[in-house]
């Protein structure tokens, strides 16, 4: 049992005062870690530490921050195996995947932000005015469990580069990697009060962060439902609310595409991380003349995906994060069956090779129609749904017929795909792939998928204020 009942505040570990909460391993269904839920008073102490540290840290030079980033990156590299094991144990990402895709993506964001900081222009001239970029202040960060380190790094790195101070509340489902990151920050010599970690849940700790009058910005990644609650809690203090929320990505498979070539790299996105990615392209839209061939290709890919112990090395899938997610996915699979979709492979219940844990059978449905629950709700599990269209105009209409707009995928000829990309109402459009491959490029959504951008120059600017000064000599 890992003890994460301490918080990291003002450069030191302090005992938690709130209620104890067990973290349940999704592979064994037994407690693996323990936290204490930070109270409003504990959040207040962390905010005071961050506010005090802001006075000096906001005035540090770019050279000082670059040196700090270099030390953080070196300390981070030492802990990659620890990060991987923590994610394998707590949220079920197989350790091979957790130590590579999960842990190294976060390291990449620190490195990318360092490069961005090296060339960032803090001042620009617009006519007679000077426009200045300045740190926004104290930032509250609330992060999810599915890509825990990745999402933490997308907030912590630009905030540090901007000169902000921060309070991080990671998901209570996966607290270990944030605790280890606090140890990295301490070892790297991050000044006291600049980075603060409070463990906790949404209703208690997250709400206290969102509503706190001395927090200047809240950056949240998670469900749209939770994002709405955070925005409401933050409204009374008119702080900046930066969100990256849910998704329901379509994969528009172009007519006549070479299915054997273009589907494997995109269907991978349905399976990766056991389907627990907000950009997973689960709605596979196929021309009516190609549906039989596409079904066979997708079914073969999905049936080759094995599930297994997340602490074992290998390319297998792990469980989903908890019982609530397991039950939700089971319910959505059953709803598709009840509403008349054709189950091609997978289905409800545990895979045959396990007898406990929150494992999902990799599943494919055909005959899915836009009115079905599974076509509208975010599944967050390894479930692909094939839908048909008559022409590309209808495919675009179906792809856009969702309240979400985080990402979309197009499979087929890249030149033809490029013509369609502007018509898709999504913040990220990938062609013959599913994940962002350029960390300098901005990431974020349209519609109910959020209102912020993360990564590179755009992500750095999100954590800054913009000041106009009139009368400065040219």
Summarised one tens digit per residue, pLDDT across range 399-420 is: 999 999 999 999 999 999 999 9
Exposure of 373 in the CB half-sphere (CA atoms within 13 A): 14
Answer yes or no: is pLDDT of 291 > 90.
yes
Give the pLDDT of residue 221: 98
153-165 pLDDT, tens digit each: 999 999 999 999 9
pTM, 2 dp: 0.97
Tens-place pLDDT, residues 432-443: 999 998 999 999
278 given a catalytic annotation: yes
Catalytic residue among 75, 172, 173, 244: 244
Average pLDDT over residues 282-304: 98
Report the mean per-residue pLDDT for the chain.
Answer: 98
> Residue 178 region, left (φ>0) first, then alpha (ψ -120 to 50), else beta?
alpha
Q: Name the strands in the sheet holding 123-126, side by side, starting at the edge strand that comes first in the sequence.
A: 123-126, 129-135, 464-470
Domains contained in the chain, CATH given: 2-245 (3.40.605.10), 250-437 (3.40.309.10)
For 246-284, how does the pLDDT look when each residue is reduced to its tens digit (9 = 90+)? Answer: 999 999 999 999 999 999 999 999 999 999 999 999 999
In terms of Cα–Cα distance, which of 261, 263, 255 is closest to 395? 255
pLDDT confidence of residue 474: 80
Give 37-65 pLDDT, tens digit per residue. Answer: 999 999 999 999 999 999 999 999 999 99
* Residue 294 confidence (pLDDT): 98
Determine whether 244 is an active site residue: yes
What pLDDT does residue 334 have? 98
pLDDT value at residue 237:
97
Instruction: Compute the C-alpha angle 438/440/441, nearest 5°.
Output: 70
Tell me the per-residue pLDDT of 127-185, one tens digit each, with 9 for 90 and over.
999 999 999 999 999 999 999 999 999 999 999 999 999 999 999 999 999 999 999 99
Tell me which long-range contacts 375-378 makes (C-beta under 8 A, separation of at least 24): 375/283, 376/248, 376/402, 377/248, 377/332, 378/246, 378/247, 378/248, 378/278, 378/404
What secondary structure does DSSP assign to 355-403, as a single string?
Answer: SSSS----EEEES--TTSHHHHS---SSEEEEEEESSHHHHHHHHH-SS
Q: Among residues of the chain, what percentage have pLDDT more than 70? A: 100
CA distance 141 to 242: 10
Q: Active site residue: 207, 278, 454, 462, which one? A: 278
């Amino acid at each position: 049992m890992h003890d994460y009942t301490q918080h990291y505040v003002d450069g030191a570990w302090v005992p938690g005062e709130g209620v104890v909460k067990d973290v349940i391993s999704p592979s064994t269904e037994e407690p693996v870690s323990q936290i204490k839920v930070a109270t409003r008073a504990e959040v207040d102490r962390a905010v005071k530490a961050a506010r005090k540290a802001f006075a000096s840290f906001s005035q540090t030079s770019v050279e000082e921050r670059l040196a700090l980033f270099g030390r953080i990156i070196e300390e981070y590299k030492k802990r990659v195996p620890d990060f991987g094991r923590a994610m394998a144990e707590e949220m079920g990402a197989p350790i091979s995947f957790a130590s590579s895709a999960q842990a190294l993506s976060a390291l990449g964001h620190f490195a990318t932000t360092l490069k961005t900081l090296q060339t960032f222009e803090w001042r620009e001239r617009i006519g007679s005015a000077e426009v200045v970029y300045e740190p926004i202040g104290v930032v509250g960060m609330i992060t999810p469990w599915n890509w825990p380190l990745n999402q933490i790094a997308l907030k912590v790195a630009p905030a540090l580069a901007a000169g902000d101070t921060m309070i991080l509340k990671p998901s209570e489902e996966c607290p270990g990697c944030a605790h280890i990151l606090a140890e990295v920050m301490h070892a790297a010599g991050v000044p006291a009060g600049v980075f603060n970690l409070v463990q906790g849940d949404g209703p208690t700790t997250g709400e206290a962060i969102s509503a706190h009058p001395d927090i200047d910005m809240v950056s949240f990644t998670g469900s749209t439902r939770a994002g709405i609650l955070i925005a409401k809690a933050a409204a009374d203090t008119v702080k900046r609310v930066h969100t990256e929320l849910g998704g329901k990505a379509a994969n528009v498979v172009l007519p006549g595409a070479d299915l054997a070539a273009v589907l494997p790299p995109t269907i991978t996105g349905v399976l990766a991380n056991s389907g627990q990615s907000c950009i997973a392209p689960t709605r596979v839209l196929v021309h009516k003349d190609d549906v039989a061939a596409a079904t066979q290709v997708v079914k073969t890919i999905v049936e080759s995906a094995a599930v297994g112990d997340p602490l074992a090395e290998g390319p297998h899938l792990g469980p989903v994060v908890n019982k609530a997610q397991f039950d939700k996915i089971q319910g959505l699979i059953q709803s598709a069956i009840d509403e008349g979709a054709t189950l091609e492979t997978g289905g409800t219940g545990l895979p045959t090779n396990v007898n406990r844990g929150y494992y999902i059978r990799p599943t494919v449905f055909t005959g899915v129609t836009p009115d079905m629950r599974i076509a509208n709700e975010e599944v967050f599990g390894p479930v692909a749904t094939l839908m048909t269209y008559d022409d590309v105009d209808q495919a675009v209409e179906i792809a856009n017929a969702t309240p979400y707009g985080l990402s979309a995928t197009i499979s087929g000829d890249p030149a033809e795909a490029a013509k369609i990309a502007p018509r898709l109402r999504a913040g990220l459009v990938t062609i013959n792939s599913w994940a962002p491959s350029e960390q300098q490029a901005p990431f974020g959504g349209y519609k109910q998928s959020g209102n912020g951008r993360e990564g590179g120059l755009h992500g750095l600017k999100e954590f800054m204020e913009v000041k106009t000064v009139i009368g400065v000599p040219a």
